């Protein structure tokens, strides 16, 4: 927390802060109470609208929906990491004819909205006779977009390593591939791990875009149960709160993993500490998605 901006408060300031704190709490509480009153006034938490939680079939379908979200995440993440590694290597290549197309591809896929990519694979390709399932369309789109972002992260990570590392490796007589795979990549990966994981958080959230192309994931499950008028009188509010909590929980788990790894890295003497925090720079560069991984958990 930035204590830069103000001195340690004296007695007067402390009193003022207390008053402001009371006002702040009162304002937030007033907002929450109002919303809660609306919840009650419109019967959002009536026993009928909460009843869905009790049914075994619904619990099973929820587990299945979470499973679909997580498998799209797992497959998408694995493919994106591979795509990122390949294109980062291509962009660092000594040959211009490899470097240039790789750069163009990465830039283009970073500029196209994921939704448009998913539409392309799910609605566009069948025109050309190629039928992909919603799952495949989601996973391929996630791979292309996040893979491109990861390629930039990897590249920045490798570029930020001290020059001495590769020089020393070359001096030992290693070939280019060896330098990359044995010396540069492992170090870069470790240094960039928190950034990579926060990009994976983005990927996890983006699986929810599959909702738009009828992929049976968590959010789609939520709108189906939440829109059930026959059994539960549209429990949309309570279902969406639960779905949001699940997403937040999953993302925080990943973020927590990132902070944990960062802390472990700091203790680990094998890791090179980058002076100018190149990782952070890339992150800011991709702020769209990943500003400040070190979120207070």
Partner 1 sequence: MSVLTNNLPLFLDLFWKTLQLFAVSAVLSLVLGTILAALRVSPVPVFRGIGTGYVTVLRNTPLTLVFVFFVFAYPLLDILKIENYTAAVVALSLYTAAFVCEVVRSGINTVPVGQAEASRALGLTFVQMLGNVVLPQALRSVVPPMTSTMIALLKNTTVASGFAVAQAGNIRDSLSEQGENVLFGLLWVALGFVILVMPLTYVQQVFEKRWSVAR
Partner 2 sequence: MRVRTLAAVLLTSALALAACGKEGSPTDQAAPAGLFEVAKDVKVEGSPTFEKVKARGNLVIGVKEDQPGLGYKDPTTNKYSGFDIDIARLISAKLGFDPEKIQFKTVQSAAREQALINGDVDYYVGTYTINAGRKEKVSFAGPYFVAGQDLLIKADNTTITGKDTLKGKKVCSVTGSTPAKRIKDEGLTEAANVIEFQGYSQCVTKLLEGEVDAVTTDDAILKGYAAAEEGKLKVVGKTFSSEPYGIGLPKEDKALRDKVNDILQASLDDGTWQKIYEGTLGKSGSPAEKPKIDRY
- Interacting positions 76-115 with partner 1 (CB under 8 A): 107-108, 110-115
* Residue 120 site contact among partner 1, partner 2, none (CB < 5 to 8 Å, cut-off depends on kind): partner 1
Helices 56-91, 96-111: axis angle to 10 degrees equals 150
Selected from 66, 85, 125, 271, the binder of partner 1 by CB under 8 A is 125
Residues that bind partner 2 (CB under 8 A): 48, 51-59, 61, 212, 214, 223-225, 227-232, 234, 236, 249, 252-253, 256, 297
In contact, 259 and 294? CB cutoff 8 Å: yes
Considering only the stretches 5-13, 70-78, 79-87, 263-271, report the one whose residues sit in contact with partner 1 under the rule CB under 8 A.
5-13
CA distance 150 to 155: 8
For tokens 């001195």, the residue is 7
By C-beta, is 16 or 266 nearer to partner 1? 16
**Minimum distance from CB of 154 to partner 1 (Å)?**
18
CA distance 84 to 153: 8
Tokens at 154, concatenated: 């990897």
**Minimum distance from CB of 293 to partner 1 (Å)?**
10
**Minimum distance from CB of 249 to partner 2 (Å)?**
6
Considering only the stretches 57-65, 93-101, 159-167, 198-206, report the one whose residues sit in contact with partner 1 under the rule CB under 8 A.
198-206
- CA distances to 2, 13, 117, 281, 290 from 209, rounded to whole Å, are 35, 47, 11, 27, 18
Residue 227 DSSP symbol: T
């Amino acid at each position: 927390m930035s204590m830069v901006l103000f001195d340690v408060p004296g007695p007067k300031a402390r009193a003022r802060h207390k008053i402001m704190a009371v006002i702040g709490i009162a304002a937030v509480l007033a907002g929450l109470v109002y919303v809660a009153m609306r919840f009650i006034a419109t019967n959002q938490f009536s026993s009928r609208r909460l009843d869905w939680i009790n049914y075994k079939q619904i619990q099973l379908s929820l587990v299945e929906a979470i499973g679909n979200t997580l498998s799209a995440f797992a497959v998408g993440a694995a493919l994106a990491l591979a795509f990122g590694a390949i294109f980062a290597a291509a962009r660092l290549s000594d040959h211009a004819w490899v470097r240039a197309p790789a750069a163009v591809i990465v830039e283009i896929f970073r500029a196209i909205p994921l939704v448009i990519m998913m539409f392309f694979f799910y609605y566009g390709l069948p025109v050309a006779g190629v039928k992909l399932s919603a799952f495949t369309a989601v996973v391929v789109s996630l791979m292309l977009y996040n893979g491109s972002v990861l390629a930039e992260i990897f590249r920045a990570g490798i570029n930020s390593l001290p020059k001495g590392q590769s020089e020393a490796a070359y001096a030992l007589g290693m070939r280019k591939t060896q330098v990359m795979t044995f010396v540069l990549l492992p170090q870069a990966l470790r240094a960039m791990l928190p950034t990579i994981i926060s990009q994976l958080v983005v990927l996890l959230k983006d699986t929810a875009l599959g909702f738009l192309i009828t992929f049976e994931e968590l959010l789609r499950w939520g709108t189906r149960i939440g829109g059930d008028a026959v059994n539960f009188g549209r429990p949309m509010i309570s279902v969406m709160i639960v779905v949001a909590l699940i997403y937040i929980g999953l993302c925080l788990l990943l973020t927590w993993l990132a902070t944990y790894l960062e802390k472990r890295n700091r203790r680990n003497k094998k890791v090179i500490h980058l002076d100018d925090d190149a990782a952070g720079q890339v992150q800011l560069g991709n702020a769209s998605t990943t500003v400040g991984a070190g979120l207070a958990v």
